[in-house]
Structure 1
Amino acid sequence: MGKVGKIARRSFLIGSAAVLGGVAFGVYRVKTPYGNPLEDGLSEGAATFNPWVVIDGDKITLIGPHGDKGQGVAHSQSLLIAEEMDLELGQFETSFGKPDKAYWNTAMAEEGVPFMATDTGMVAESMRGVMGGVMKLIGLQGTGGSTSMPDSFDKLRRAGAIARETLKAAAAEETGINTTALRTEAGHVILPDGRRLSYQSLAKAAAGIDPVTKVTLRRPDQWRLIGKPTQRLDIVAKSTGTQIYGIDVEIPGAVKAAVRTNPRQGGGLNGFDATQARRMRGVKDVVEVTGGIAVIADNTWRAIKAAEAVECDWGKAPYPSEQDGHWAAIEASFTEDKLDKIWRNEGDADAALRSGAEVEAEYRVPYVAHAPLEPLNATVLVEEDGVTVWTGHQFPRLLQQLVGAITGHDAEQVNFINHYMGGSFGHRLEFEHVKQAAEIASKMRGTPVKLTYSREEDFAHDFPRHPGMARARGAVRDGKVEALDLQVAMPSVITSQMGRAGLPVPGPDSQIAAGAWNNPYGLPHFRMRAYRVEELAPVSSWRSVGASAGGFFFDCALDELIHAAGADPMEERIRLMQHEVSRKVLEAVAEMSDWGSPLGAGKGRGVAFVESFGVPTAEVIEVSATDAGIRIDKVWVAAEVGTVIDPVNFENLVQGGVVFGLGHAINCEITYADGMAEQRNYDSFEGMRLYQCPEIEVRGLENGDAVRGIGEPPVPPAAPALANAIFAATGQRIRELPLYHHINFV
């Protein structure tokens, strides 16, 4: 049996095991709700109705369990609860809560099944249900994959409605007035005579009755907050420098630590000499940690400088030392034994191409770093009866398990206090810095240890986006795109990332094919094959993960075919699009950009469409070719998310995603020399400069049935739209990122 057959059988067996062991056999467990973690330690007179709302005599606290890394999810989660609970902004506090199975992510099952988001057939929906059950059984609490809003939209509105109706029931019990005569407004229950009972005054009575769970959610035409422009709850704190991030945590009596580990990641430490470092001012100790050393000092700067002074004998890299070796390994992986999966095989690509391939092209995308503004950090206190961790992280319950394994505690004994994150882009899905802090603190029990990475250490030990290559062959006929055979080779990001977290990864890696296989076009002949490259440098999820590469590969190849056919890039995409909702996205961006209108000399427009995380997104970029280089004049973006929760935050996220995507497409790459990343700070890893940033016009569409997230989907179309625009303006096809290797930008 061929490898494709083996994969299909393995996927079937895994799916069957999940059904038998996790859902069908354990259906009672799947349907049974978890308990309310807010009941533990609840003060007298306080009331909680579900895991997301708690009220006492002083305040109302809304729990948003998804981590906020700048995407505004703490605000958006609270909007959903406040909408149904009849609260106004400013009437409540927000909290990330404590890690708990009750906060399992319902939406992460979407990316865990090998079906296109546009496939709503019985088999696809059944498998999503199976995976959803598995996610619940393991209690997977996580922030990522643009799932925060899909996960929260129904459950948090329901949480607010339950709180509202229970408070009305408490008021009815106190006043003797039937609940049908009561209404709520701005944090109060309103009696028929106009008297107002605050929610806080009703908390004690509400605590004595069972929550009212039979509730009706409000219709969109009744919404006060959802879909309306609001000021994010964190704006004032962030504007005044008072927002507390993980790096700002200061625990009395804490020592400060810095680490230095092998820049040849995974190479180990053969030995070290800390004589000079131990003599430096403020240094308390130098200890060994996994893969390197840690310096403990009286402040962070002294710890960092002393760590730099330690002489280390590093082991060799377990991957090619030079960048050329990485590319050679990828290039050599287009072989049958490395085939991970055939993701699409429609029509007969071989027969269509035999008449003569019109386009043959090879594309490349490099490693790129996450590089958020806040360096990695964690504060850990290890005591005999428990551990406390202060940092910002996207997977709290996994963090508890990994820390507990290091310190010798059960996961339930690890108290994790989540904080706002100064960016992530996937960086804070990783655990190495928290594990290192736990290692150090475990040697110093009873003393809090605050570990902070230097910027250089952060870059050197980032797990970047996986690099990849694509080979495309395509044919056209009668002025139309006829066939495309697309092969993509990449290391497996899921195997690398999940391996570090100690999690098994069965089956093919969908992120090798993401952004390429799942496009909803109806090409007559389309084959998409993914090849798994043996592990090179360790890699991780990067904002939009595989779609950031796959979108570039597929859309640029499609654009080349359209031009070979002599067709209009927008009109041919719309003609080929077989998904109505996605077609409307293309039509919207065409209308926004006035596609087809005359352009001046040296100008060009490029369009790209990529579906990632269930969000069809199209971008048009207009550029000018000047004597000094390419200037990006304007960007138009249309994206379909089902429901726009907050139009202001939506626009900001889309604009930020475009800037992020363009900056990396133009300037950014990580390369390896002597086994080490050569780029160690922003001077060698530049994002988009302010003077380069174009005007960005955004439109959020609401034609789809499902609510989707928007944090990642604006990123993948940026690079191909820009490359296609450059071709339109100059006639130059650029098939590798970053683009600056081939053209200047002004």
Structure 2
Amino acid sequence: MKDMKGSAPRSATRRQVLQAGGAFVLAFTIPGCDRGGPRERSAESAAGAASADVTREAPGLNPNAFIRIDRSGSVTLVMHKVEMGQGTFTSIPMLIAEELEVDLSRVKLEQAPANDDLYADPILGGQITGASTSVRGAWEPLRRAGAAARMVLIEAAAQEWGVDANSCVARNGTVTHPETNRTLDYSQLVDAAAKLSPPSIVPLKEPADFKLIGKAHKRLDSPAKVNGSAKFGIDARLPGMRIATVAASPVPGGKLKSTEDAKALGVKGVYQVLKLDDAVAVVADHMWSARQGLAALAPTWSDGPHAKLTTAAIVAEMAVASSKEGVVARDDGDARQTITDSGRKLEAIYQMPFLAHATMEPMNCTVHVRSDACEIWCGTQVPAIAQSIAAKITGLPLEKVQVHNHYIGGGFGRRLEVDYVAQAVAFAKQMKEPLKVVWTREEDIQHGVFRPYYYDRLAASLDENGMPSAWTHRVTGSSITARYAPDWFKDGLDPDAVEGARDLKYGIPNIRVEYVRHEPPFATAYWRGVGATHNVWVVESFLDELATAAKKDPVEYRRALLADVPRLRAVLELAALKAGWAEPLRSSSERRFGRGVSAQFVFGTYMAQIAEVSVGKEGDVRLERVVCALDCGQVVNPDTIVAQIESGVVFGASAALWNEITFDRGRVQQSNFFDYRIMRINEMPRVEVHIIPSTASPGGIGEPGCSAIAPAITNAVFAATGKRIRKLPINAEELRSA
């Protein structure tokens, strides 16, 4: 997803200190998240709600999260984000612990309940984990909340001792009065602190004083994931629960036609057959019986109006659409006229395919629908949306639907969608027992909500020095935003679809960027960067074409165009230095070697990547080494940044080298990891990550590594073979003869 709401908030607007069952509770609001509705209630009633069950909404008191310190000194943070491998459950507690002056081991987490009013992200405006916003949105308000709690605890100790609070210091979960050498643990101050009002001005630490922030810290969620105690959605187990697996219409818009119910029910362990208009589920005691029952069920389908749908037909329609003018996203100078008048003009068409998310944890959801309530167990990036769709399907009031969110075994934007939740609820309505619905890998890949196909037209002119004097870029593709967040889709422009194109950082005097919306006959979805993963590849590939036409070094060409963007220029220079850009590559009679570069500013982070590839005689491309330099502002946990870049390289490189979703006769042609390939461990390149220190506000890190790698690879392939890649994934057949 995309950051649509601007920069992170500057301060927390309201805080309250409460006492709840012997716990000191700090409730706070992250600015930008007030969704309306009643805002005030008594401290007593709010504390009661927080203490009795923090998974229930506290009507009238709408904080974004709770910090609780109990009489044992344990600190609890009700986490408004989900953990799907990105390290949020470590980096965000570090913000609290830093300002609260406690060891990170004293901070415990509770997953926040579904509640858009209480737990909305300040950047995205909803209870969403995505768009690389978790640390960006939490950076100041959560630190300020920790600092406010620390100051109240210091004041409570000062009153106990009858001294000035300014003469006391907090350190490692205690308050000390150095002059008299008296010390009280936070646990001893809970009751007194709960009676005090927090300060109206809450100063934050200077970066030089950080003890946790900026230091490497082991992931807090790793032990449970290693020893198997971590609970993902697919691990949900309930008394009396049944297991179901499903088959949906293989063609978008198709309907269920017939089934062999008796044969399915004859399979040992099969319990029931459940039907929807476009899907069928076989319910059994365990997954194997359910799968055998589904095979025996032999469902047939009415394919509907899209029975002849092909990728070729979709692309042909997009080519026609892209030939027409689009909505103007940026128009500096007079790019079109400059190109027309130029004697040196270059044009290119770039294409990116539909892509699946292929998360390691297949789509699953466990549901128990009763007459007066509905409970859901799953992993979702949007718990409030999941709650809302379940309420709509069951006809229950929102407050009667409870979402138990779990660790997520890969999100990548797929679990921003709630189609799998809606389907599971619709099936579970037909049963008395709890029902776990699990999609097979084939069902997952063939019925995903895919990243859009993009068809881009670019043109540029070069001046007498070979530098670009004008640049035009027309993006043609589906608008995810128009469906997902229609308030952000204005005047026909999807801001996500043009991210990385509209905000081009290179010093080109005339730039025009347009967007043409063209929809396939099915919904499309966000995909670990979406607009950025598409546009950065297109922009950085075409810029390399200009450098080649100008007979200039690709790194030096970019440096010259980034004179007014020092942070982006700095990461480019650092990456080139660390990669040994000017040094010759090894050579081999069996493989051709090349280096490629990309530079970008997306999700608030400046990044450059240099890829080294080798190409075999059969056209196979091997990613040998990746050097990444970045400036993401203030680093919270550098280990997380390195891990995110490494995972982004795997995700983005897999797409560039091998992945696409294609249609024939209305059906997705790929089905599992043998034909929708993910990089294996033996194919993993050496990845080097170099972070430029900064005290600027943090940028996002979950998606930039993914968007930077594809152009670095394809530019390296050109360096190795002389073959320009304008369509992904890379076609080995074309490189065989290059």
- For the aligned residue pairs, the C-alpha RMSD in angstroms reads 2.8
AA matched with 2:120: W
CA change 1:268–1:720 in 2 (3 A) is same
Contact 1:425 1:543 in 2 (8 A): yes
- Partners of 2:710 and 2:52 lie apart in 1 by 56
Deviation at residue 482 of structure 1 after TM alignment: 2.6
AA matched with 1:694: P
CA change 1:553–1:191 in 2 (3 A) is same
> Which structure 2 residues correspond to residues 688-703 of structure 1 after superposition, within 5 A?
688-703=679-694
Task: Establish whether residue 61 from structure 1 lines up as the match of residue 76 from structure 2.
Answer: yes
AA matched with 2:596: G
**Farther-moved stretch of structure 1 (592-601 vs 727-736):** 592-601
Task: Establish whether residue 75 from structure 1 lines up as the match of residue 62 from structure 2.
Answer: no
- Partners of 2:576 and 2:652 lie apart in 1 by 21
Match of 1:470 among 456, 459, 468: 456
Contact 1:343 1:513 in 2 (8 A): no
CA change 1:242–1:34 in 2 (3 A) is farther
Question: Residue 660 of structure 1 aligns with which residue?
Answer: 651
CA change 1:437–1:318 in 2 (3 A) is same
AA matched with 1:311: A
Contact 1:60 1:200 in 2 (8 A): no
Contact 2:322 2:476 in 1 (8 A): yes
Equivalent position SS for 2:538: helix
Match of 1:39 among 38, 47, 68: 47
Question: Residue 616 of structure 1 aligns with which residue?
Answer: 606
Question: Residue 323 of structure 1 aligns with which residue?
Answer: 311
Task: Establish whether residue 553 from structure 1 lines up as the match of residue 538 from structure 2.
Answer: yes
Contact 2:136 2:698 in 1 (8 A): yes
CA change 1:302–1:172 in 2 (3 A) is farther
Deviation at residue 562 of structure 1 after TM alignment: 1.1
Deviation at residue 567 of structure 1 after TM alignment: 1.4
**What is the TM-score of this pair, normalised by structure 1?**
0.86
Deviation at residue 599 of structure 1 after TM alignment: 3.2
> Which structure 2 residues correspond to residues 337-356 of structure 1 after superposition, within 5 A?
339-356=326-343
- Partners of 1:482 and 1:219 lie apart in 2 by 44
- Flag structure 1 segments of 5+ consecutive residues without an equivalent: 1-25, 109-134
Contact 1:467 1:491 in 2 (8 A): yes
Deviation at residue 464 of structure 1 after TM alignment: 1.2
CA change 1:211–1:591 in 2 (3 A) is same
Equivalent position SS for 1:252: coil
Deviation at residue 669 of structure 1 after TM alignment: 0.7
Deviation at residue 78 of structure 1 after TM alignment: 0.6
- Partners of 1:388 and 1:599 lie apart in 2 by 58
Task: Establish whether residue 89 from structure 1 lines up as the match of residue 89 from structure 2.
Answer: no
- Partners of 1:744 and 1:41 lie apart in 2 by 67
Contact 2:332 2:509 in 1 (8 A): no
- Partners of 1:389 and 1:173 lie apart in 2 by 47
AA matched with 1:158: R
CA change 1:620–1:38 in 2 (3 A) is farther
Task: Establish whether residue 367 from structure 1 lines up as the match of residue 354 from structure 2.
Answer: yes
CA change 1:625–1:43 in 2 (3 A) is closer
Question: Residue 477 of structure 2 aligns with which residue?
Answer: 490
CA change 1:357–1:688 in 2 (3 A) is farther
CA change 1:287–1:216 in 2 (3 A) is same
Equivalent position SS for 1:77: helix
- Partners of 1:230 and 1:248 lie apart in 2 by 27
CA change 1:561–1:189 in 2 (3 A) is same
Identity %: 33
Q: Which has the higher helix share?
A: 1
Deviation at residue 470 of structure 1 after TM alignment: 1.5
Match of 1:573 among 540, 545, 558: 558
Deviation at residue 43 of structure 1 after TM alignment: 3.9
Question: Residue 521 of structure 2 aligns with which residue?
Answer: 536
CA change 1:432–1:255 in 2 (3 A) is same
Task: Establish whether residue 594 from structure 1 lines up as the match of residue 557 from structure 2.
Answer: no
- Partners of 1:351 and 1:598 lie apart in 2 by 38
Equivalent position SS for 1:106: coil
- Partners of 1:514 and 1:255 lie apart in 2 by 44
**Farther-moved stretch of structure 1 (554-563 vs 609-618):** 609-618
Question: Residue 187 of structure 1 aligns with which residue?
Answer: 173
1:70-102 Cα distance to aligned partner (Å, 9 max, x none): 001111111111111112122221122223323
> Which structure 2 residues correspond to residues 188-587 of structure 1 after superposition, within 5 A?
188-192=174-178, 193-316=180-303, 318-319=305-306, 321-336=309-324, 339-445=326-432, 447-478=433-464, 479-497=466-484, 505-507=489-491, 508-577=493-562, 578-587=564-573
Match of 1:168 among 154, 164, 177: 154
Contact 2:330 2:511 in 1 (8 A): no
1:115-160 Cα distance to aligned partner (Å, 9 max, x none): xxxxxxxxxxxxxxxxxxxx3xxxx111111111110101111111
CA change 1:736–1:67 in 2 (3 A) is same
Deviation at residue 553 of structure 1 after TM alignment: 1.3
Contact 2:488 2:494 in 1 (8 A): no
Deviation at residue 266 of structure 1 after TM alignment: 2.9
- Partners of 1:308 and 1:498 lie apart in 2 by 38
CA change 1:729–1:182 in 2 (3 A) is same
CA change 1:520–1:505 in 2 (3 A) is closer
- Partners of 2:289 and 2:199 lie apart in 1 by 56
CA change 1:38–1:324 in 2 (3 A) is farther
Match of 1:102 among 101, 110, 118: 118
Contact 2:318 2:518 in 1 (8 A): yes
Contact 1:283 1:297 in 2 (8 A): yes
How many aligned residue pairs are there? 684
**Farther-moved stretch of structure 1 (469-478 vs 48-57):** 48-57
Contact 1:481 1:565 in 2 (8 A): no
- Partners of 1:340 and 1:563 lie apart in 2 by 30
1:195-223 Cα distance to aligned partner (Å, 9 max, x none): 54333343333333334453211111111
Deviation at residue 403 of structure 1 after TM alignment: 0.9
Equivalent position SS for 2:451: coil
CA change 1:448–1:506 in 2 (3 A) is farther
- Partners of 2:82 and 2:52 lie apart in 1 by 29
Question: Residue 23 of structure 1 aligns with which residue?
Answer: none
AA matched with 2:585: L
- Partners of 1:315 and 1:194 lie apart in 2 by 81
**Farther-moved stretch of structure 1 (374-383 vs 55-64):** 55-64
- Partners of 1:285 and 1:483 lie apart in 2 by 64
CA change 1:245–1:549 in 2 (3 A) is same
Contact 1:50 1:159 in 2 (8 A): no
CA change 1:744–1:247 in 2 (3 A) is farther
Question: Residue 9 of structure 1 aligns with which residue?
Answer: none
Deviation at residue 362 of structure 1 after TM alignment: 1.6
> Which structure 2 residues correspond to residues 701-720 of structure 1 after superposition, within 5 A?
701-703=692-694, 705-720=696-711
- Flag structure 2 segments of 5+ consecutive residues without an equivalent: 1-31, 55-60
- Partners of 2:64 and 2:127 lie apart in 1 by 17
Equivalent position SS for 2:282: strand
Equivalent position SS for 1:464: coil
CA change 1:50–1:665 in 2 (3 A) is closer
**What is the TM-score of this pair, normalised by structure 2?**
0.87
Match of 2:670 among 675, 679, 698: 679
**Farther-moved stretch of structure 1 (151-160 vs 697-706):** 697-706
**Farther-moved stretch of structure 1 (393-402 vs 304-313):** 304-313
